[in-house]
Structure 1
C-alpha cells in the first residue's frame, strides 16, 4: 500500500462522485480550484491580462460563484489554515480574487518547512450551527472509524469526546458499530442522516481504495430544494488514496493530482521513478538528497535501504550521501533497467574529477530472483560505461537470496567488460561492510 495525499478540492470532488455512484447520496459540495499560472521560459510571470482571462474563464464555468458568499483558503496539504490567518470567510468573488492575487506564489513557513502557495480552494460560505468530526483510516487488518460531536478548530482539546471502532477487513460495518460512534448525537434526525452518510462513506472508502478520509468539520444543512431535507456537508476534508490501486481506478482518478508534500517538489528523475512505481506491482523509490554527492545507493528492500543510509551517516559521510533508493517486490527486468538507468543518469551528471561509489546492496531475498533483477541493472551499467569510467566510479555489491551466486557472477563479468572496478559479496559478508569499503575507496583519492 502506498498512501498518496490529494488536494482538498480533488478530495471533495471525489467524495461527491463516489457517494452518488455508491449510494445515490447527493452531497451538496461545490468547489473550484485556483492555480498559479506559469510564465514564459525566462521566468517572468504571466502578464495581468492573462491572469484576468484565467479568472474570467473560471467564473464563466462556475456561475454559482456570483450567487453566494464564498470561502477561500490555500489547498496545499497543510492544516490549521484558520489559525494561520489563511482563510477568508463570507467574501464576494471579487474579494476572493483580490485575496488570492495577494498571496499566490508567496513563500510561507509551516511547522518549520518553507514552501510556496500555488493552489487555492474556493467554495460556498455555509453558516452552520453544528460541527462534527469524522475519520476513517486504513490499517493492515482493520479500518478505524472515528466520530466526534465536537469538530472544528478545537478538536484536539476535545479528543476525549471522539468515539472509535475497529472494523476488521473481513467484516462489514454494522449498525451496532455505527450506534457506538454516534451515541453522543441526541437529535434523531441528525443521527439518521449521519448514519446514512457514514455508512455510504465507509463502503466507498473500501471499494475505491481510500487509505484516509477525514472531515473536520462535518456539518448538517437543509437541502436547497423544496423538501428542505437534512444533508451532511463536509466543510473540510483530507483524503489519501492507495496509489497501488491506480490501475483499478484509472477512470475515476484520471483527473486527480498527487502533489508533493508541502515545501518539496520532485525533480524530473524522481518523477520518472514515481511513474514507474505507480504502474508497477513492485516498489521502486528514489529521493535525491545531494545531486553532487559521491555515494549513490541502489538497494533492494525498504528496511535495508534505510540501514545503508544510516550507516553512511553514522560513519560521518552523510554530506556525501547523494540519494535514498530502494527496489523490492520482485520488479520485472525492464522495470529494473529503467530504474537503474534513471539513477545512473543522476550519479554521472555532475562529474568533478573525484571518485564516486555506487552501493548495490540488500539483505537476503526470500522470493526475488537476484540474477534476474541484476540483469536489468547490468544492462543499464553498460549504457553508462563511458560516464562511469570518467567519474572514477567503483561499484560495491552485496546480496543474498535465490540465484544470488549467478547474479554476483554476472555483475562481476559486466564490470570487467565495461572496465569499471567492482567488488561483490554474498550473504557471508555483513550487509553494511560494503559501505565501509566504499568510503575507504573515496578516502584513497
Structure 2
C-alpha cells in the first residue's frame, strides 16, 4: 500500500505540539526556529533575552525545513556555543552543502530556517527509534531499540505492527512491538504507556506521519513526580521522561478546522522543496489561497526552453515524466497548472509566467510557451473571448511586442474539439498578434510536441489521426465460449452492460463530454448514475 500524504511541519512546532499534550511523559523542549540571517546578523535580541540557555549552554543547530538525513549529509552542527553556531552558518553556503539537496539552478536561497536547541549529552547506545505512518487502511507503528544517524534500513530492522483504522491499539499489539526489543519488564511498561498515548494523540490530531529519531530516556529532578524511581530528598524526586531529540511530522491539512486548537496557536508549515519561494511563486501562492479554483507555479530552471501553463496537474506531470524519459528534463522551466480559474485569475498566472520567460534569453534561440486544457476547448474560448479564454487573449495581446522580440512561440494543446491538420483552427485574433502559434489536438503525442518546442525538428507534428492497434474482443456479456482469453467467465464478470457509474470530484465540463459521448453511443440513458463533488468546509 502507498503511504497517505500530508503537509510537513517544522521540527520546533512538532516538538511543541507533542509536549502540549504529553507533558507528563516527555521533557519540555527548549528550541527555537529562526531565519538564518537573523541569527548571523544578531537581530534576535528578544529571543536571546527569552532563551538565556543560548548563551549559557552548548547548542545544536540544524535546518528546520523538513529535510531528512540531515546528519548523514553533514547538515547538523553539535555541541557548539552560540558563536560557533553563527560561524557555522556563515560557512554553510560556502561548503556547498546545499547542492546535496537542491539543484544550483533552482532560484531562491535553498535553506533559510534553522533550529537551535540545547545539546543533550548522552551515549549512542541510549538512542531509540519510533515512527508511525498512515496507509490507506491502517496505521503502521515501527520501533527499534537503536536509533540515530547510522540506523540504516529501519523498515527491515524494526518491529512493526499494523493497526486497522477503525480499531484501537491494544495490549497485544504493543507487546508484539516491544517483546523482542526490550527485555526489562519495568522499561517495557513505561514504553508501553508512552506508545499507547502517543498513538492515540497521533490519531486525535490527524497526523499522517510521525518519526522520532532519536529519543532517549532522561532522569530529571522535579518537585512533583508521577513516576518515582528513587528519592534522596523529601522535596525532590527523580523522574524518568522521554527526551525527543529529533522529530519529523506531517499533519493532514484538511483537518485544520477540526484541530486548530489542538495543534497550536499557529501551525508552522515547512517551506516546500527545501528552498525559499521567489516573489513570482509567492504571488501565485497568495492568489491560490483566495481563488475558488486552483493555480500552482514552481520554477524549476529559469534558463529552460519550454514553459507550460496547463489545465490539470496530471497533464503537467505527464509532460515532466515524458521529458525525463527523453533526457531533457533540464529544459522544462516550470511546473504550472490551473483548474477552474476565471479570466482575471488565469490572466495573472499567464502574465507571471510570461514575465519570467522574458527575464533571461537562452542563446538567442527563443523559448516556447505551451498552453492547454484536457477539459475545455481552450482555442474556441480564446476566439470568443469567453471565460478563461478572455484572460489568455488579454495576456498575449498585452505582451505581444515583447514576445515577438524574444522569438517566443506559442503551442496550444486542445484535447476538446476537432483540430485540423493544417492548423486551420487558429483564430484570426491570435494570428494577428504576430506570434508563431501552433495548435495540436490531444491525439498528438507529447513527445512530438516536446521535440518541436525544443526545435529538435523543424516541421510541426501532424494533427492527422494516429494509427491504432486494435485487439478483437467480444461484447460485454458474451457467453464464455466466445470470450476465449479476453474476458472472464460470465459468472465472474465484474462489469456488465447494466453497470452504473458514480462520478466523484470530476471536472464538470470534462464529465459532460463523457456523458454526451456515452449517450451518443448507447442511444439510451447514460451509464453515469450521479455526480458527487466534495467541498472544503469553510473556516470560522
Q: Same fold (TM over 0.5)?
A: yes
* Structure 1 match to 2:17: 14
Supply the distance in 1 between the matched residues of 2:73 and 2:452 (Cα, whole angstroms). Answer: 51
* Structure 2 match to 1:289: 300
CA contact (8 A) 2:15 2:29 kept: yes
Is 2:278 aligned against 1:267? yes
Is 2:120 aligned against 1:125? yes
* Structure 1 match to 2:32: 32
2:356 to 331, 338, 346: 346
CA contact (8 A) 1:32 1:123 kept: no
Deviations 1:318-371 (A, max 9, x none): 55432222345x567765454334323323444687543211245x55xx8979
Q: TM-score, normalised by structure 2?
A: 0.63
The alpha carbon displacement at 1:135 in A equals 0.8
The alpha carbon displacement at 1:247 in A equals 6.2
2:215 to 214, 218, 229: 218
Supply the distance in 1 between the matched residues of 2:185 and 2:343 (Cα, whole angstroms). Answer: 59
Alignment partner of 2:47: what SS? helix
Alignment partner of 2:302: what SS? coil
1:197 to 194, 198, 213: 194
Supply the distance in 2 between the matched residues of 1:436 and 1:26 (Cα, whole angstroms). Answer: 58
Q: Which segments of 5 or more consecutive residues in structure 1 lack a partner in the other structure?
A: 40-44, 90-94
* Structure 2 match to 1:87: 77
Q: CA RMSD in A?
A: 4.3
CA contact (8 A) 2:343 2:392 kept: no
* Structure 1 match to 2:83: 98
- Tell me: CA distance 1:380–1:442, structure 2 relative to 1, closer, same or farther (3 Å): farther
Count, aligned residues? 417
Is 2:378 aligned against 1:390? no
The aligned runs of 1:326-405 (5 Å cut-off) are 326-327=337-338, 336-350=346-360, 355-361=366-372, 364-365=374-375, 375-376=387-388, 378-392=390-404, 393-400=408-415
Is 2:132 aligned against 1:139? no
Between 1:420-429 and 1:379-388, the stretch displaced more is 420-429
The alpha carbon displacement at 1:237 in A equals 1.2
Deviations 1:364-387 (A, max 9, x none): 55xx89799993364144134232
Is 2:59 aligned against 1:71? yes
Supply the distance in 2 between the matched residues of 1:307 and 1:14 (Cα, whole angstroms). Answer: 38
The alpha carbon displacement at 1:86 in A equals 4.1
Q: TM-score, normalised by structure 1?
A: 0.75
The alpha carbon displacement at 1:312 in A equals 4.6
The alpha carbon displacement at 1:146 in A equals 0.7
Q: Which segments of 5 or more consecutive residues in structure 2 lack a partner in the other structure?
A: 103-109, 226-237, 460-540
Supply the distance in 2 between the matched residues of 1:314 and 1:159 (Cα, whole angstroms). Answer: 30
